[in-house]
Amino acid sequence: MKFPSREVVERVRREYPAGTRVALVRMEDEQAPPAGTEGVVEGVDDTTSLMVRWNNGSRLHVIYGEDEVRKI
């Protein structure tokens, strides 16, 4: 796995600060919540994954470059 640069991590942290509401567009994970599930960003880790608290109780991360969310 290639890690994103510090600049990319910081840009994503500015774009998705804690408290940002998102909706899932797609996630390649067997345990993923259904598309359209909403949640709240709790932070962005050093691999640029969004740490999301989904409304259904899940806390799966949104993997940068693999999964997709949209701001709501």
Q: Residue 57: which pLDDT band, with cuts at 50, 70 and 90?
A: very high
Query: For the chain, what is the mean pLDDT?
Result: 95
- Name the pairing type of β-strands 38-44 and 21-26: antiparallel
Q: Residues near 16 by Cβ (< 8 Å), separated by ≥ 6?
A: 22, 41, 44, 50, 71
pLDDT band of 3, cuts 50, 70, 90: confident
pLDDT (tens digit per residue) in 27-49: 989 999 999 999 999 999 999 99
Q: Where does 1-72 have alpha helices with state H? A: 6-15
